[in-house]
Every structure is written in structure tokens, then in C-alpha cells.
Amino acid sequence: MTTAHVPTARPMPTQSTYQARVAEYWNTEENPVNLELGKIDDLYHHHYGIGDADRSVLDEPDPVRRRERITGELHRLEHAQAELLASHLGALSPTDRVFDAGCGRGGGSVVAHLRHGCYTDGATISAKQADFANEQARKRGIDDKVRYHHRNMLDTGFATGAYAASWNNESTMYVELDLLFAEHARLLRRGGRYVVITGCYNDAYGRASREVSLINAHYICDIHPRSAYFRAMARHRLVPVHVQDLTAATIPYWELRSQADHLVTGIEETFLTAYRNGSFQYLLIAADRI
């Protein structure tokens, strides 16, 4: 028997001053690097890309066509990242429910649904993002299975043990890991899969580098050390089954983006320096809830 896909109504939990600032940032954000890429196929990803880039797009002589090709290639790389995450969610059925924590404008939830046929709940602290994502789901005709909620991912109000899988895609740097993983462990059924893709600073390098500090300031976030993920997971019954270093795989994305004059945000060279000097890493961690 399939349970109805109707999470219990719950008002937005009281936020800290910091969370209120983050919500304000995303409620006003209109960055072309997020919006222009999503317009290609109405899949809006709020994360970075992986894989070898087709650098021939930079040789396009027509300036308008060059912009279009660069935008398309960056979107292809970002979509490849979303597909990689979805491929690690485990064996899911169309009756299973999954949770997208910090869903942004919703692209990752759509990818998971299209791949697995599952029900998806996305949560974002931004009311603007939730409204936008729900409208996209309605346009696709999948709003009966893919829904977005204006909620705090640290305290969702969703049913305990209701989810077969859950994930964070580049959103863990906005929260305390113990609070986050406690909520994921509560939401996941025993044996459920949790996946995170995130940037983290490299403990072997030492303390957070200058570049990591600049990234924190740019995105109003607090990047965690690599070790913090594994320690917090262990405290909350999340046991890693797969760890993948995606640092080398994401550098081509940043190299291409740094040459996209119509999309650059000014942080591109900082990311590249941090990846190359070893102070910053891009990781995928998949863990089972025991």
C-alpha cells in the first residue's frame, strides 16, 4: 500500500540571524550563471560541474554563438554532476520517497525523479526558490510526485523513517553538520542511503587557506574540513560506503567558466587556485543509515 505524498503542514521554523541572512541572499539572487544555464532545458542546478569540457566552444568565431555554446557546455557539466549524485542513491522504486535538502531551484529533484520514478520532497530556506521550483514541476506535469517546500532542512517536520534516500548537493556549508546529519538519520529508514557532494577544506593542508576564506566570504558560508563529515556521520548512524574525490573532475568546469565573460562571478580563479594548491577538495560521500 502506497502512502499519500502529503507531508504534514508545518510553519517555517524560527531561524537564526545567520539563516535569515542566507534566506535573504537566495530570495534576491538572480545570478546569470544559475539562471541562463537553466533556461536551456528548465533544469536549474545550483552547483558546479564535472567531467572533461569541450574546449572547442572557446574557438567559436561568432560571439553570440560562442556565448550560447559555452553556456550549453557548462550546463552539460553541471547536469553530469547531478546525474552522478542520483546514480548513488541506491535501488529506488516509483513508490519510494527521497529528500533533497537545500534543493535550490529544484533541478536535482527532477533528475532523481526522472532517473528513478520516485517521489521527491525538496526543502529550501528560500520561499522564492520553493515557488519557482514548484512552478517548474507543474510545467513538467510531475507536481504529483515532485514537490518543494519552504522549510529548514535542519528541522523539516517530515515523517520519521519515511525516506529511502536523501542528499545534499553543495548546501552543507550553510549549516552545522551534527544538526544536519541528525535530521537525515531521522528521516531515513534503516538501510536508507544518504549522499553528499560538497567542497571541503583539506585537513592535510592544515587550517583553511586564504582561498577557502575568500570562498566563504563570497557565498556567506562556512566550509567544513573534510574530517568533520566523517566524524559527524559516525555520530549519527551514517556509515560511508563510497567516497570519491571529484577535485580533478571539476577543474575543467572552472577553467571553462573562468573564460565565460557573460557568466563569471569573480570567484572562478579563487576556486582554481584552491583546488590546485591542495587546500580545497570536491568530494562525493555515499553513506547508509544503520
Average pLDDT, the chain: 94
Percent of the chain at pLDDT above 90? 86
For the stretch 92-111, pLDDT in tens is 999 999 999 999 999 999 99
Average pLDDT over residues 111-135: 96
For the stretch 8-47, pLDDT in tens is 444 555 578 899 889 988 999 888 888 888 888 989 998 9
Helices then strands (H, E): number in the chain? Answer: 10, 7
Element (H, E) at 286: strand 280-289
Per DSSP bridges, beta strands 146-150 and 119-124 are parallel
Q: How far apart are the first and last CA of the chain?
A: 24
The region of weakest confidence among 4-13, 221-230, 259-268, 274-283 is 4-13
CB under 8 Å to 235, separation ≥6 — which residues? 178, 181
- CA dihedral (146, 149, 151, 152) in degrees, to 10, reads 30
Contact, 250 vs 50, CB < 8 A?
yes
Q: Above 60 in pLDDT, residue 186?
A: yes
Find where cell 577544506 sits: 201
